Copies of this chain bind each other. A is one copy, B any other.
Amino acid sequence: SIDADRLLSRIRALGDIGRDSGGRLTRLAASDADKAGRDRLVQWLCEAELEVVVDRVGNIFGIWRDAGNAANAPVLIGSHIDTVIDAGIYDGCYGVLSGLEAIQTLREAGTALAHPIAIAAFTNEEGVRYAPDMMGSLVYAGGLSVDEALATVGTDGSVLGEELRRIGYAGADGPDFSKPHAYVELHVEQGPVLEREGVPIGAVENLQGISWQRITIEGVANHAGTTPMSMRRDPGYAAARVIGFLHDRATTSNTPTVATVGCIAFEPNAINVIPSRATFTVDLRDPDTERLKAEEAALAGYLQDLAAVEDMTIMTERLARFEPVTFDARIVGIVEEAARMRGLASKRMTSGAGHDAQMIARVAPAAMIFVPSVGGISHNPREYTADVDLVAGANVLLDVIQRLAAD
A192 to B42, CA, bound (A): 65
Residues of chain B contacted by A257 (CB below 8 angstroms):
229
B258→A227 contact, CB < 8 A = yes
Instruction: Please judge, given known A-B contacts A226-B352, A352-B223, whether A262 and B273 are in contact too, CB under 8 Å.
Output: yes
A151 to B131, CA, bound (A): 41
Mask for A329-354, Cβ within 8 A of B = 1, else 0? 00000000000000000000001111
Which one, A46-54, A171-179, A239-247, A384-392, is touching chain B?
A: A239-247
Residues of chain B contacted by A283 (CB below 8 angstroms):
224-225, 271-272
B354→A225 contact, CB < 8 A = yes
Q: Among the listed B223, B231, B354, which residue makes an inter-chain contact with A379, where contact means beta carbons less than 8 Å apart? A: B223
Residues of chain B contacted by A220 (CB below 8 angstroms):
377, 380
**Is A9 at the interface (CB under 8 A from chain B)?**
no
A283 to B222, CA, bound (A): 13
**Is A275 at the interface (CB under 8 A from chain B)?**
yes
**Is A86 at the interface (CB under 8 A from chain B)?**
yes
Residues of chain B contacted by A261 (CB below 8 angstroms):
236-237, 240
**Is A70 at the interface (CB under 8 A from chain B)?**
no
Contact residues of A between 186 and 207, Cβ < 8 Å to B:
189-192
A247→B273 contact, CB < 8 A = no
Can you name the residue of chain B whose Cβ is closest to the Cβ of A285?
Answer: B225
B240→A260 contact, CB < 8 A = no
**Is A234 at the interface (CB under 8 A from chain B)?**
yes
Residues of chain B contacted by A229 (CB below 8 angstroms):
247, 250-251, 257-259
B271→A223 contact, CB < 8 A = no
A271→B212 contact, CB < 8 A = yes
Residues of chain B contacted by A110 (CB below 8 angstroms):
none
A351 to B210, CA, bound (A): 50
**Is A270 at the interface (CB under 8 A from chain B)?**
yes
B192→A224 contact, CB < 8 A = no
B258→A269 contact, CB < 8 A = no
A227→B270 contact, CB < 8 A = no
Contact residues of A between 254 and 308, Cβ < 8 Å to B:
256-276, 281, 283, 285
Can you name the residue of chain B whose Cβ is closest to the Cβ of A256?
Answer: B228
Instruction: Please judge, given known A-B contacts A243-B237, A271-B131, A283-B272, whether A379 and B262 are in contact too, CB under 8 Å.
Output: no
How many copies of the shown chain assemble into the complex? 2
A224→B86 contact, CB < 8 A = no
**Is A85 at the interface (CB under 8 A from chain B)?**
yes
**Is A208 at the interface (CB under 8 A from chain B)?**
yes
A260→B244 contact, CB < 8 A = no
Nearest-Cβ distance from residue A137 to partner chain B, whole angstroms? 16
**Is A84 at the interface (CB under 8 A from chain B)?**
yes
**Is A116 at the interface (CB under 8 A from chain B)?**
no
A272→B379 contact, CB < 8 A = yes
**Is A11 at the interface (CB under 8 A from chain B)?**
no
A379→B271 contact, CB < 8 A = no
**Is A218 at the interface (CB under 8 A from chain B)?**
no
Residues of chain B contacted by A131 (CB below 8 angstroms):
271
Residues of chain B contacted by A227 (CB below 8 angstroms):
191-192, 258, 352, 376
**Is A126 at the interface (CB under 8 A from chain B)?**
yes
Can you name the residue of chain B whose Cβ is closest to the Cβ of A263?
Answer: B269
Can you name the residue of chain B whose Cβ is closest to the Cβ of A275?
Answer: B262
**Is A230 at the interface (CB under 8 A from chain B)?**
yes
Residues of chain B contacted by A153 (CB below 8 angstroms):
none
Nearest-Cβ distance from residue A122 to partner chain B, whole angstroms? 16
14 A/B residue pairs, CB under 8 Å, sorted by A: A85-B273, A86-B267, A86-B268, A126-B270, A190-B226, A191-B227, A191-B228, A223-B353, A225-B285, A227-B376, A228-B256, A240-B247, A260-B274, A262-B266
Which 6 A-B pairs rank lowest in CB-CB distance, beginning with the nearest?
A: A191-B226, A226-B352, A85-B268, A240-B243, A224-B260, A240-B240
